Amino acid sequence: MTAHRSPAVALERIAKKFGHVVALRDASLAVAEGEFVCFLGPSGCGKTTLLRIIAGLERQNVGVVRMAGRDVSHLPPSERNYGIVFQSYALFPNLTVARNIAYGLEARRKSRHEIDGRVAELLDLVHLRAHTQRYPAQLSGGEQQRVALARALAPSPALLLLDEPLSALDARVRLALRQEIKALQRRLGITTIMVTHDQEESLTMADRIVVMNHGVIEQIGTPVDIYTEPRSRFVAGFVGHMNFLSVVADARPGWSRLGALALRHRAAPPVPAGTPVTLGIRPEEIIVGSGARDAENRIVGRVAGLQFLGAFTRLRLDLGDSAPPLECDLAMGALAEVGAKEGVELPLALRADALRVFRDPTPPAASDA
C-alpha cells in the first residue's frame, strides 16, 4: 500500500433536486480508505439522498462520484462494489439467515463449498452461528440488524453504506450494536459511511462527521473538532448542548457587550463595533461557585431549576432580564460544594477561551462566510 492513494470515495459538487425541492447543493467530500464517516443532520436534510447517490440508487443532477479515483457517476449500482444496510434491513423474509447472507455470493459463480465457508465466517463475525437456519421473522431486531450487516459484507465490498442502521432498535441494543459495528469496521478496515440523525451515535462511532443542514454540508471534521470548534451556530446547537448569548461587538477586538456587561471571548475576525453577534458556551464549560470569584467574565445567576441527569445535574440559571437563562452542568460533588438549590444566587464565570463567536445569520445574502 502506498502512502498517497486516491480517497476511497470522493464527491465533487453534488447537487440533487426532486422537482422544486432541493435535496442537496454543492456537496463535496473525500473519504479516506478505512475511514468511518457519519452523515449527521436533522430529518430531511438530504443525508439519505447523498448516500443513495453514492450507491447509484439515486442519480444526481450535477456532480461527480469517484471511488478509488475512478469516476463511477455513470455506473449502475451493481458495478460500484459496495454493501448497504437499510433502516428497514430489507432482509428477504422467505430466505433463511444463511441464504440471506449467501445471496450476493451466489450471483458471483462461486462454488457451493466456497459460499458455505464464507457464510460460516460471517455468521461467526456477527455471532449468529446458532441461528443459521432461522428465518428473519424469527429473530430479534438486533439479530436482524446483524444479519443485514453480514449480508452486506459477504461479497467483500470495498465500501460499506449504512442508512440509520440502529434507529429501529431499542436503546440498550443500540448501544451494544454501536460498539459491535465499530469494532467490526476496525477489524475489517472497511471504508464506511453511516447516515444518522443521532449526534451521540456519530460522536462515538465516527472518525469524521459530516454535519448537514438543508441540503448543505455545514462542517466536516473529527468528533472532537465538531464538538469543540463548531463552525456555525447550527452545528454548535445540533451536536451537544450549547448556550447562546446575543451580544454586540465591542470596539476592543476580542470583546463584546451583553447589556452593560463586557465579555472577553475567543479570538475571532474583527467586526465593526455594534454588530450583533452570538456567543456560545457549552454547559460544562461554565465555572460555578468559588472558582468563579476571581475569574474574568463574572456574572451572577439565580438557580431557576435543577434537572438530575445521573452522572451530572443540569442547572438552569437566570441572569435577570438581560439574557435568556443559561444551562450549566455540574457533577455530583461540585453540586454539593457550591450548594446549588433552587432560588440560590451563584457566582458564575464564562471562560473567555470557551466563549465562541458566531456571526449572526440574519442578512441572508451574507451567508457564504
Partner 1 sequence: MPAIGPVEAARIPTPVVRHRLDGERVLRGALLTGFALFLWLFVGYPLLQVLWRSLLDNEGQFIGVANYVRYVRTPAIAASITNSLWVSTAAMVLTVTLAFVYAYALTRTRMPWRGFFRVVAMLPIFAPSLVHGIAFVYVFGNNGILTRQTGLNVGIYGAKGIIFAETFYCFPHALLILVAALSAADARLYDAAAALGASRLRTFLTVTLPGVKYGLMSACFVVFTLVITDFGIPKVIGGKMSVMATEIYNQVIGQQNFTMGATVSVVLLIPAAIAFAVDRLVQRRQYSLVTSAAQPLAPGRSRLARALLFVYCATIAAAIVGVYGVIGVTSLVARWPYSFAFTLKHYRFDTIGGYTPLLNSLEVAALTAVAGTVLAFVGAYLVEKCRTIASGPLYVASILPVAIPGMVLGLAYIFTFNAPGSPLNRLYGTLALLVLSNLVHYFTVPFLTATTSLRQMDAEFESVGASMGVPFWKTFWRVTVPIALPSIVGIGMYFFLNAMVTLSAAVFLVAPGTELAAVAVLLMDDAGDTAQAAAMSVLIIGSGLLVRLGFWWLLRGITRRTQAWTATPSEG
Binding site for ligand ATP (CB under 6 A): 18, 21, 23, 41, 43-49, 197
Q: Residue 281 pairs with which residues in a beta bridge?
A: 243
Residue that is written with C-alpha cell 439515486 in the block: 58
Site size for partner 1 (CB under 8 A): 59
- Cβ-based neighbours of 256, under 8 Å, separated by 6 or more: 247, 248, 249, 250, 262, 263, 265, 277, 279, 357
The candidate with the shortest Cα–Cα distance to 320, out of 348, 357, 352, is 348
Is there binding between residue 15 and partner 1 (CB under 8 A)? yes
From the list Mg ion, partner 1, ligand ATP, none, pick the one residue 90 interacts with, judged by a Cβ distance below 5 to 8 Å according to partner type: partner 1
What is the Cα–Cα distance from 189 to 182, expressed in whole angstroms? 10
Q: Tell whether the torsion through CA atoms of 57, 62, 65 and 70 is positive or negative.
A: positive
CA distances from 367 to 127, 218, 359 (A): 49, 11, 9
333 contact choice in partner 1, Mg ion, ligand ATP, none (CB below 5 to 8 Å, kind-dependent): none
Residue 19 in the binding site for partner 1 (CB under 8 A): yes
Stretch that binds partner 1, among 10-18, 117-125, 253-261, 340-348 (CB under 8 A): 10-18
Of 23 and 147, which CB lies nearer to ligand ATP in the complex structure?
Answer: 23
83 binds, among Mg ion, partner 1, ligand ATP, none (CB under 5 to 8 A by kind): partner 1
Give the residue, chosen from 41, 165, 215, 347, that forms a contact with partner 1 under the rule CB under 8 A: 215
Spatial CA neighbour of 147 closest among 78, 95, 200: 95
Q: Does 60 participate in binding partner 1 (rule CB under 8 A)?
A: yes
Q: Cα 345 from chain centroid?
A: 36
Buried b (16+ CB within 10 A) or exposed e, 37-76: bbbbbeeebbbbbbbbbbbbebebeebebbbbeeebeeee
Determine the interface stretch with partner 1 among 93-101, 164-172, 263-271, 330-338 (rule: CB under 8 A). Answer: 93-101
Binding-site partner at residue 45 among Mg ion, ligand ATP, partner 1, none, CB < 5 to 8 Å by type? ligand ATP
Footprint of Mg ion on 10-49 (CB under 5 A): 48
- Single-letter amino acid code for the residue at 207: D
20 binding partner 1? (CB under 8 A): yes
Minimum CB–partner distance for residue 222 and partner 1 (Å): 23
Interface ranges with Mg ion (CB under 5 A): 48
Q: Name the residues that contact partner 1, by CB under 8 A.
A: 15-17, 19-22, 25, 55-57, 59-63, 73-80, 82-84, 86, 88, 90, 92-95, 103-104, 106-108, 135-140, 151-152, 154-155, 157, 161, 213-216, 361, 364-365, 367
